[in-house]
Amino acid sequence: MKILLGTNNDGKLREMRAILASLPAELVSPAELGLDIYVEEEGSTYSENATLKAGAYSRASGLITLADDSGLAVDCLRGEPGVYSKRYLPRPDATDAERRAYLLQKLSDKPRPWRAHFHCTVAVVVPGGTVRLFDGDCFGEVIPEERGQNGFGYDPIFLLRDINRTMAELSMEEKNHVSHRARALRAAYPALVRLIDEGS
Ligand code: IMP
């Protein structure tokens, strides 16, 4: 059985493939199916956007599809950028580095520590059927200097306080033990196994 990972974000795709590697199913990406669709994230919650993405990819492919919506919420910015993390800088061509710089500029007059957490909601959609949602969080702190080369997005400025390393200083294997996405995917795992059993 094939399960579609409904994302065009290479960083997310790599992490999802690694976390779900032991599923008894073939994990495929939109590109591998020749699917070139862009889903507008017009929802105001992670759940709405994850459902929109998984639903669109599932309709286009006819496959059981998993998609996530995720973001970084900073306490002293009342949860910003949150669900808008990807669009924090409204320019469509903005880079991850520019978004990190923009966030740091917004934080520059706020007292530290800049407590924050990543959140991820995973939606699992069965074609013509159910939607199931799973959540995961990872708590830490935004720091003003970039550290580490791994990961993507806000990883270089997100510090895991108890180990004093940024998310970008972790190997993918280490990140996949602690990340919001890993926690949400691990919560989804038993439901995915059941769907695969039912379909095979
Ligand atoms: P979306 O889920 O496609 O809306 O994108 C979420 C955005 O949040 C990404 O483009 C990143 O900027 C940020 N983000 C989500 N998860 C992570 C992560 O694991 N590391 C760093 N940034 C992340």
Residues 53-63 pLDDT 10s? 999 999 999 99
Structure confidence by residue, pLDDT tens digits, 190-200: 999 999 999 85
User: To which residue do tokens 């074609």 refer?
Assistant: 127
* CA proximity to 133, closest of 194, 185, 179, 76: 185
pLDDT value for 90: 81
User: How confident is the model over 163-182, as a mean pLDDT?
Assistant: 97
From 41, 70, 149, 185, give the residue whose CB has the most ligand 1 atoms within 8 Å, as the site to mutate: 70
CB count in 10 Å sphere of residue 98:
13
Active-site residue set: 69
* pTM summary value: 0.96
Tell me which residue range forms the domain holding 122: 2-199
Amino acid at 68: D
Q: What is the pLDDT of residue 129?
A: 83
CA angle at 46 for the pair 43 and 50, rounded to the nearest 5°: 80
How far apart, in Å, are the Cα atoms of 178 and each of 88, 90, 111, 174? 24, 30, 27, 7
CATH number at residue 47: 3.90.950.10
- C-alpha dist (Å) from residue 148 to 33, 100, 167: 33, 14, 8
Q: How confident is the model at residue 92 (pLDDT cuts 50, 70, 90)?
A: confident
Q: How many domains does the chain have?
A: 1
Angle (nearest 5°) at CA 134 between 150 and 199: 105
Pocket, ligand 1, Cβ cutoff 6 A: 9, 41, 68-72, 85-86, 99, 118, 151-155, 167, 179, 181
Report how many helices (DSSP H) and strands (DSSP E) the chain contains, helices first.
Answer: 5, 7
